[in-house]
Structure 1
């Protein structure tokens, strides 16, 4: 895929990752090294799976669903890792916890913004149902209603969602949190911070792609520069370059819709609109009926895809929410991190 053709947001540099994994006074045992390598290799595999083989796969609803599944899956990997290294909450640095709580709130806000936009797009399906219902008749009044519903759909889809527009500010704050924390005299803590960094990079990158898609603006995209010393660095750079590059190419061509299923519906709407204006005389034509059938199938595919994506975003939200509750509960009790706690604590922890 070609590289971006328009100005974009600068790369962010995060320094040497080994500065925090192997300073004086700390050493990773072979077991911890093996756990870390397994985690990073799994993350690399998830990134390669997300890297689209065809540019037309970029920002299809099925790809976005896969992206959310990858986030949740990687959060589960962190849960497993924390359980295996057996790091008590009492050993967590107070600074880590404060930053984690702040970042988890920001991610909850991002999830709410995405859920509201998916819901808004799905509401547009009501306009399309009205169009299809009214085009079942050859009455001129029904055609007028169908045209009105198409106008309503175009206005609804073309409007902006303030919550999504505000995502850029939140994402910029999340980028600031990516800088590696200093960990002293704790091999497990260093391993945890390094692993969390990988999931934070994936989370911020995916969220920036979603924000760009939902806002219709390539300005929402973030370009993150990851040191080559991570086992997943090359997979991430390939993923980021292909996905961000294709999205920028789409926008530079003058298209404001990058969601494939939404664009497909919009194409049929643009095709039908002038035919409806020409009157009921076309209603019995084969080409006209074919356009209606095409609209029905594409509208259904869009609605189903949005429903599936809603479930994934809602699931990610619940991971973040229950994670905060679980960590706060453990902090109050002063206990260690248990498997039961981690079952709901993964998502928020990884974005420390």
Structure 2
């Protein structure tokens, strides 16, 4: 029998020890990514519950108003900012093109929603003209006739879904939703998987909020695009429930947006007063006009806040894109610089060898 001495100190040249160290580092990195994912999901879950429990959607008989839409945009902005913080600390590499392609769609989506808001503002001018004539107490038949036509134009404008000529906005939203279903081919690292999971989460929230905003502003009969979060996300259940509740329009509501139904009701009252010419006491009542004026004022304030929310998201995504592109540019310059140094070193060694010879 031979006795073999075994050192109690690890060898720096032990391949098994090196493999173990690498595996431990890999496990620690995976744990950190899991913690990041869980923290990101929990932050979205908290915000999502607040949005779902808001007064606009807590009861099935209540629809959506501009205030709720602004809150939804705030939630979307929060999701983008949280994702940016996470992604900025990682090496995107293979996922950089994936993010840049999707972010272009989001920027285009923001521009299209801004156009819808501007279209809505222009429609509001129709009400403002009619209110100006009625508040001045004008008895000019021509002005009153134009005011009546303006009110009718508002109602007729929203009798069906208001769509642009080429359905550009719907195509963007649907294309982004389709991209979210795409599964990357081939083997990817844990970092890449985390990055794409984060991008997918933000994409789901983006498509949902954008779809609701567009549907509400256009008076469309149904959501422009619908999405559903997979169970891998901690916030999937409340998110899908919120999507379902928004898709179901309350009874006796023509539009998804409360303000549209309210304005139409006030217009009918004002039109009835104009057609009747006087109230019960023989005088033209001003209450219907005042109520329409109040609703129109709230509409203007809501649209301003909505526009600000879209601008915040647009600027957030644009800053992230610029930062990533700059990072990529610097990386490429460093690679070229390293390549030049390497080539220069080779040239120097070659010259030195020739001199020594």
Match of 1:63 in 2: 68
- Pairing 1:121–2:120 present: yes
Match of 1:333 in 2: 330
Matches within 5 A, 1:284-323: 288-323=285-320
Match of 2:184 in 1: 181
Match of 1:72 in 2: 77
CA-to-partner distance for each residue in 1:174-215, whole Å, 9 max, x for gaps? Answer: 122113435746333222222222111111122222232233
The answer on whether the counterparts of 2:109 and 2:169 sit within 8 Å (CA) in structure 1 is: yes
Provide the rounded CA distance (Å) in 1 between the counterparts of 2:166 and 2:296. Answer: 23
Q: Give unpaired runs (5+ residues) of structure 2.
A: 1-24, 333-357
**CA gap 1:286/1:293 in 2 versus in 1, 3 angstroms:** farther
Match of 1:195 in 2: 198
CA-to-partner distance for each residue in 1:76-104, whole Å, 9 max, x for gaps? Answer: 11122224xx2135xx10xx333333222
Match of 1:147 in 2: 148
- C-alpha root-mean-square deviation of aligned residues, in Å? 2.9
Matches within 5 A, 1:108-257: 108-135=107-134, 136-141=136-141, 142-156=143-157, 160-162=162-164, 165-179=167-181, 180-181=183-184, 184=187, 186-246=189-249, 255=254, 257=255
**CA gap 1:40/1:286 in 2 versus in 1, 3 angstroms:** farther
Provide the rounded CA distance (Å) in 2 between the counterparts of 1:294 and 1:254. Answer: 19
The answer on whether the counterparts of 1:212 and 1:221 sit within 8 Å (CA) in structure 2 is: yes
Match of 1:268 among 266, 270, 281: 266
Give the number of aligned pairs.
300
Instruction: Determine which structure has greater relative contact order: mean sequence separation of CA pairs < 8 Å that are 6+ residues apart, divided by chain length.
Output: 1
Distance apart, 1:129 and its partner CA: 2.1
- Pairing 1:82–2:80 present: no
Q: Give unpaired runs (5+ residues) of structure 1.
A: 1-24, 336-352
- Runs of 4 or more, structure 1, over 4 Å off, are 25-28, 155-159, 182-185, 281-287
Return the TM-score normalized by structure 1.
0.75
